[in-house]
Amino acid sequence: IVGGKETTISEVPYLVYLRQNGYFICGGSLISSRAVLSAAHCVYGSQPEGFTVHAGASRLDQEAPVVRNVVMFHTSPSYSATNFDMDVALLQLQEVVFLIPGKVATISPCRNPPEGNAYARISGWGVTRENNHEPAEQVRTTMVRVLPGAECKLSYSGYGQLSDSMLCAAVRGLRDSCSGDSGGPLVYRGQVCGIVSWGFGCARPSFPGVYTDVASERVHDFIELTLRRIG
Ligand code: 4AZ
């Protein structure tokens, strides 16, 4: 998170992080007791063995109160590793997560996209500047502006087409998600409306962060169908 501040998991109890073979890789959102919403690019090309989900922890260097193995990745056949279309994954957990009041909670997927110019919350352990490499030890958060669709498309008009499964958000030049925040939530009115997906650099004035639009029809249908199968 660029341009944010430290927070604690009690402010964002739906936020989890993903490790692969013990190494932090991405964020995610707990959307049911055995399903985590994240980005397809976080798990693409990997097998679930070696992946763990960590809930209830503010810091990467403290032991999380809840750790679960991942047994299955669910991604859309429409996911494109070239243009990040349908960058959404559901991670099926081996055992249920017990909710801990004030630390571990579920959040519902968004049914209607935020209106343009609304402010939404992003959070994660990603780097605090584009040129940093180490994730933040303590979870961070900030509020970003969801761009009207036309402003989003215009920002990336020279870089191929944005798909209808994407939305943009940022405070241009100041606040953005960045490397390591991928898979984490953009939250509006208590629902997860975006998944940190990609962008050109971080907090650059011309290039807002791009998020998977959870309420877009294809993404919403994929999430609902998958949740119905795995609970
Ligand atoms: C990344 O590399 C990444 N500024 C995540 C978010 C953004 C850019 C890059 C958005 O994971």
User: Residues 52-76: pLDDT tens digits?
Assistant: 999 999 999 999 999 999 999 999 9
* Ligand 1, residues at Cβ distance < 6 Å: 176-179, 181-182, 196, 198-199, 202, 209
Gap between the Cα atoms of 174 and 181, Å rounded: 16
Under DSSP, the state recorded for 62 is: S
25 Cα to the center of ligand 1, angstroms: 12
Annotated active-site residue 182? The verdict is: yes
Annotated active-site residue 41? The verdict is: yes
Residue 159 has pLDDT above 90, yes or no: no
Percent of the chain topping pLDDT 90: 98
SS3 content of the chain, % helix, strand, coil (to 5): 10, 40, 50
Q: Which amino acid is at 184?
A: G
Phi, psi torsion values for 99, nearest 5 degrees = -70, 140
Closest atom, ligand 1, to C-alpha of 41: 11
Residue nearest to atom 2 of ligand 1 (CA): 179
* Per-residue confidence (pLDDT) for residue 5, from 0 to 100: 98
Q: What is the mean pLDDT of residues 125-143?
A: 98
Dump strand ranges (E) for the chain. 5-6, 15-20, 23-32, 35-38, 51-55, 66-75, 89-93, 108-109, 119-124, 140-146, 166-170, 185-188, 191-198, 209-213
Residue 40 has pLDDT above 90, yes or no: yes
Residue among 160, 166, 130 at smallest CA distance from 147:
166
Gap between the Cα atoms of 211 and 39, Å rounded: 9
HEC string of 33-45 equals: CCEEEECHHHHCC
Residue 21 has pLDDT above 90, yes or no: yes
228 Cα to the center of ligand 1, angstroms: 30
Say if residues 219 and 194 touch (Cβ distance below 8 Å). no
Q: Please state, rounded to an integer, the average pLDDT across all residues of the chain.
A: 98
Say if residues 13 and 178 touch (Cβ distance below 8 Å). no
Reported as a single tens digit per residue, the pLDDT across 210-231 is 999 999 999 999 999 999 999 7
Annotated active-site residue 87? The verdict is: yes
